[in-house]
Structure 1
Amino acid sequence: MNVLRIYFSALWRDSTSPCPWALCDDSGAVLQQGLSPLASMPKTYHCIGILSADRVLMFTAPQPPGNQRRWQAALPFIAEEHALTDPDDIHAVPAATSQADTMAVSVIAKSWLKQIVAATTEARLPLRRLIAETLMPDLSAASWTLVWDGSSGFLRTSPTTGLTLDSGDHETPPLALLLSLTAAGTHPPRQIELRQIQSADVAVSPAQDLPGWNLPVPLVRGEAWDWQRAPIPEAIPNLLWGDFAPPMRLFESLPKLRPVLFILLAAFIIEVVGTHIEWAILAQEKHALTQQQEHIFHAAFGDDSTLVDAPLQMQRNLAASRHAAGVADTTDLIPLLDSAAQVIGTLNAGSLRSLNYDSGKLELDLKLAQSVDFDALTKKLQSRGLKVRTSDMHDLGDGTSQAKLTLSLEALQ
């Protein structure tokens, strides 16, 4: 996934201000780079803002007592004495340190940060992370890292703290560096690694002379510094914190899942299209079957007949024709009784409690000695060509069972 790095220095004022940028791939290789306003930068899924060291003030302070929500609200007032500005314009971001009950605090001007967030939003650049350049260089154990361009730069003193440096040259060290070494007291760094800022028009040679600063700790040369290509560890605090925290992304991994989602979407479309085609075929077959039924009905009973429900009207007309010819129909009472009487007549007296006939169905209310007797009776009736449906079976409590049998003829006997 490509990542757009945007460098915000003290020269940036608003959305019209040009600023350096670099489009990098997953390995950190620079694909494109340039200097332009935000609206002219390449659009990508993920953007990281990098603030120059002189825009972020860092210090350590004792962690206030109480719960986290209460002391987080007090951070701007804690930072006031260090930033020397109105607390209402202070955006303070806490970070853990190696010392218990001590926190590192990064301070940014809230009004300037609001402009960055508003400008990137207007330019449709999804700014999800904002970090200080001060914390980007690698930090060796018991060492400090100094990034220098010959007259200014910045110093990283710990995983979560650093400071900006100015007013120095090849012979005179920056005053802030000397003060930091003095403040370290009996715990100075083992060495200071100097990384020269990489410039497009000035090549940095490993054999280039080190500044003659005569420091109390060794000064060693490191690799050239280039914010465009430097790795960005996840441990670097995100300055988009608190009120500036980006909204949660429900589909943070969408680019990685995109091929799978496309496959699922294609399968869903195929399923929907296939279902519609199947329903269309079934609807066509139903229509053809209905037309065939209507054609048979009109051929049998004439075209003058009003047709509403072909199967029902065919059954009724067929029954009427049989009655007119003196032939019993399957829905008549007599054929049903004739088929059932030979089986029901073998039951004990009093077994048949009631008999009802309605719409071609004969309902018998029977009382038998055991419930298993109903199974045997059902098989006998079915052998006579009857459809049998048993319902409402229950035990009477006197050793007998009662149930209702609904009978209908399967075919004309």
Structure 2
Amino acid sequence: MSTLILTLSPDTPGPAAEYSYTLTADGHTAIRHASATAALLPDPGRAGETVAVVPARLLSWHRVTLPQGTGGQAPRLRAVLEGLLEERLLDDTVLLHFALQPGARAGEPAWVAVCDRAWLRAALQTLEAAGRPVSRVVPEFAPGPTASGAAEFFAVGTPEDPQLVATGHGADQAVVMLPLTPASLDWLGASAQAAGDAAAPEPLRAEPAVATLAERLLGRPVELHTASQRALQAARGDWDLAQFDLASSGRTRALRKAGSAAGLLARAPQWRAARWAIGVLLVAQVVGLNVWAWQERRALAAKEAGVRSALTQTFPQVRAIVDAPVQMERELALLRQAAGSLSPADLEPVMAATGAALPDGQLPASLEYAGGELRLRGLDLDAAAIDTLNQRLMARGYLAREQNGLLQVRLEVQR
């Protein structure tokens, strides 16, 4: 499943706004990356999804503790967040959009992302009008533990407006964004030398546009890290800023998450071993079923050959074998007829078995025999008596059933 990851433009959303985008099939490797207007963005496919990335400079992060009684998606949760953040924000809370940290629980500290509500809504509506509805909205950088377990630093922007971003910073593992200057490098600890310093931070990652400036300010080489790589990393996070009035329905979110998980399992490099294991298991199952079916066919063919052999050896006059069991039964009936012996389906054996099985004192008023079935009238048998009668008859290979006062007895099992 393909994923289209696009970075929202900080400018006023509209048909002419351009979006930097990355198209990926596994969430780790970019198939294509470029910039285009909403109408010219590539199609991720029917089963794909579109992920929008909110630039770091358009988000502010705030640490709050939810009061007891406010669940993660309680209807009054937005009002609670407005009350908690009202004194910290410069703009009116009605004009802002709030997104709560995934897995936030009442009574524990949690992060809240805040951005311009009208801007985000207009950006999502523009993309939807262009046929690229957004499945998730993720932050470019998110607070919380980093992959390395230490603070990580990124130099982003342009030579005219370079910025330094720190993730996993401090005890709260916050996101901090400052102008890229020697003072900010020193204040965040990004300028610590790695030589002989066990507590040195991770290498500074820089976009190509500001890599030279970062190296000059830092005094050592930096690691190149493109905006496309950053977008891929952001899309793999568990944040979704589309909450409250911008949230999709629960069913839609579940389907999108299931599709994303299926696409990840199908293409992500870390699941390659699992895909091989599933493939080997399926092949083993198919081979095993075929071997079992072949053995069953051989056993059935051997039984059929044994029955045909018994028929031809016992009755040499039978030349053409069509249905060996039926033909054998016919030949046995002819032998019994020629010898004057009785078949279990004849009148006398059926009457003898029925008479021995009937309860004491039960005598039929009339009887009929036709086609191997004995019909008795005038018996007064309840359901329990018929069950007892059947148990006795089945021991001899017969079966009885009662219908409209008529007891019918016939041979059920050839003995």
TM-score by length of 1: 0.53
List runs of 5+ in structure 1 lacking aligned partners.
182-188, 212-218, 264-338, 380-387, 394-401, 408-413
1:67 and 2:70 correspond: yes
SS in 2 for 1:237: coil
The Cα of 1:41 is off from its aligned counterpart by: 0.9
1:390 and 2:400 correspond: yes
The Cα of 1:67 is off from its aligned counterpart by: 2.9
The Cα of 1:403 is off from its aligned counterpart by: 9.0
Structure 1 or 2, whichever has the larger Rg, is: 1
Q: 1:56 aligns with which of 53, 56, 59?
A: 59
In structure 2, what is the Cα distance between the partners aligned to 1:38 and 1:140?
35
The Cα of 1:6 is off from its aligned counterpart by: 0.5
Question: Where does residue 245 of structure 1 map in the other structure?
Answer: 247
Quick check: 2:54–2:139 contact (8 Å CA) kept in 1?
Answer: yes
Compare the two structures and name the one with the higher helix fraction.
Answer: 2
1:228 and 2:241 correspond: no
Question: 1:149-298 alignment to 2 at 5 Å?
Answer: 149-150=158-159, 151-158=161-168, 161-166=174-179, 173=183, 194-199=204-209, 204=211, 208-210=215-217, 221-230=221-230, 231-232=232-233, 234-235=236-237, 237-246=239-248, 247-250=252-255, 252=259
Question: Where does residue 151 of structure 2 map in the other structure?
Answer: 143
In structure 2, what is the Cα distance between the partners aligned to 1:18 and 1:352?
99
Label 1:43 to 1:351 Cα distance change in 2 as closer, same or farther (>3 A): closer
Bigger shift: residues 111-120 or 122-131: 122-131
Question: Where does residue 385 of structure 2 map in the other structure?
Answer: none
In structure 2, what is the Cα distance between the partners aligned to 1:207 and 1:164?
15
> Identity of counterpart residues, as a percentage?
17
Bigger shift: residues 84-93 or 119-128: 119-128
In structure 2, what is the Cα distance between the partners aligned to 1:127 and 1:94?
19
In structure 2, what is the Cα distance between the partners aligned to 1:206 and 1:152?
9
1:102 and 2:115 correspond: no
SS in 2 for 1:76: helix
Label 1:220 to 1:93 Cα distance change in 2 as closer, same or farther (>3 A): farther
In structure 1, what is the Cα distance between the partners aligned to 2:149 and 2:220?
14
Q: 1:81 aligns with which of 73, 79, 87?
A: 87
Question: 1:242-391 alignment to 2 at 5 Å?
Answer: 242-246=244-248, 247-250=252-255, 252=259, 352-355=363-366, 363-365=376-378, 375=393, 390-391=400-401
Quick check: 1:7–1:49 contact (8 Å CA) kept in 2?
Answer: yes
CA RMSD after TM alignment: 5.1
The Cα of 1:55 is off from its aligned counterpart by: 0.9
Structure of greater relative contact order (alpha carbons < 8 Å, 6+ residues apart): 2
List runs of 5+ in structure 2 lacking aligned partners.
190-198, 268-274, 283-346, 382-387, 411-415
In structure 2, what is the Cα distance between the partners aligned to 1:88 and 1:207?
39
Quick check: 2:65–2:110 contact (8 Å CA) kept in 1?
Answer: yes
TM-score by length of 2: 0.53
